[in-house]
Amino acid sequence: MTINLIGTGNVAWHLANQLAKIPECTLQQIAGRSLKKGEEFSHLAEEVTTITSLKPATITIIAVSDTSIENVASLLPYQDTLVVHTSGSIPLETIPQDRKGVFYPLQSFSKKDTIDFTNIPICIEATTQEDLETLQKLALFLSSKVYHINSQQRKQAHLAAVFVNNFANHCYTIAQELCDTHQLPFELLHALLEKTAQKAIDHSPSDVQTGPAKRNDTNVIAAHVDMLQEDDHKSIYQTLTASIIAHYGKEL
């Protein structure tokens, strides 16, 4: 199985490093517009700076920004090979080739992180059963968790991931700002942060909700709102509080 990889961002970086370790696969070429970024991948595969320089491969993985996927795919110089993208929110049909698919690792990637692919869910989709089986084979080389889901399901998974990751992390950012403002070490919250995430994994998140909103403790809620100095922090607190109270059948 030969693989071409287009992109030099965070997802491409981690995929390239993992794919290069698979004995059954040959990471043939990596394409990126930036020669400097491409040099970071030079120990993994042949680097090219133009898509038209790519040679045919069993699978071509497009790991670029969502808005660039269609244009990048249209520039490929070969036909009748499987072309896939790695986006969580872009439909399969965005790729113009007849043989198309999706290879979406559901994880947040930063180059500085050490990533263990073993337990990262990989969501796959393809237009034919044969190509789906090829993607499954590749995915299983990387992870034990492979899911066949369609484009609509993948968009919903991506939306859910925004709540779990991006929104939650922004709440962590606000918490750190509050700690910094009042000369408190953020590590005071590390154990709670870890425990909250683990409880959500071990149980239904709805079953382990705690706090003043769950109790509808209006005195504490009002005091918290008064303590917050930033209007956007107040708005976030009030919106989340109202949502929690509504979820558990109570009214403000």
* Domain match, 181 and 239 both: yes
72 and 128 together in one domain: yes
**Is 252 domain-assigned?**
no
| Cα dihedral 46→47→49→52 (10° resolution) | 30
Is residue 93 domain-shared with residue 159, that is, in the same domain?
Answer: no
Are residues 31 and 61 part of one domain?
yes
Same domain, 171 and 199: yes
Q: Are residues 130 and 204 in the same domain?
A: no
CATH number of the domain encompassing residue 35: 3.40.50.720
Domain hosting 45: range is 2-149
The reply to whether 15 and 109 lie within a common domain is yes
Pair (44, 79) in one structural domain: yes
The reported pLDDT for the residue numbered 165 is: 95
Listed residue (56, 142, 67) closest to 106, CA to CA: 142
Better pLDDT: 36 or 143: 143
Sequence letter at residue 30: I
**Tens of pLDDT along 207-233?**
999 999 999 999 999 999 999 999 999
Cα distance from N-terminal residue to C-terminal residue, the chain: 59
197-205 mean pLDDT: 96
Is 107 found in the same domain as 27?
A: yes
Candidates 161, 170, 158; CA nearest to 239 is: 170
Question: Phi, psi at residue 85, to the nearest 5°?
Answer: -115, 170
Which of 93, 123, 149 is where one domain is finished? 149
Q: Which amino acid, one-letter code, is at 187?
A: E
Prediction pTM value: 0.89
Q: Give the model's pLDDT for residue 245.
A: 95
**238 pLDDT tier (thresholds 50, 70, 90):** very high
Q: What is the pLDDT of residue 252?
A: 45
> Distance between CA 73 and CA 13 in Å, rounded?
19
Please give the tally of structural domains in the chain.
2
Predicted confidence (pLDDT) at residue 251 exceeds the cutoff of 70: no
Average pLDDT over residues 19-24: 94
Q: Does residue 109 have a pLDDT over 70?
A: yes
Stretch 142-146: mean pLDDT: 96
Q: How confident is the model at residue 41 (pLDDT cuts 50, 70, 90)?
A: confident
The reply to whether 180 and 218 lie within a common domain is yes
Q: How far is the C-alpha of 107 from the C-alpha of 166, rounded, in Å? A: 11
- 34 domain-assigned: yes
| Pair (37, 66) in one structural domain | yes
Report the chain's mean pLDDT, rounded to a whole number: 94
136 and 179 inside one domain: no
Q: Among residues 125, 149, 173, which one ends one of the domains?
A: 149
The arithmetic mean of pLDDT across residues 128-155, rounded, is 97
Would the pLDDT of 68 be above 60?
yes
> What's the CA gap between 3 and 45, in Å, rounded?
10
Contact 12, 30 (CB under 8 A): yes
Q: Identify whether 143 is part of a domain.
A: yes
Give pLDDT, residue 250: 59
Last-in-domain residue among 85, 115, 149:
149
pLDDT of residue 209: 96
CATH number at residue 224: 1.10.1040.20
**63, part of any domain:** yes
pLDDT tens for residues 117-131? 999 999 999 999 999
Which residue is listed with tokens 């869910």? Answer: 121
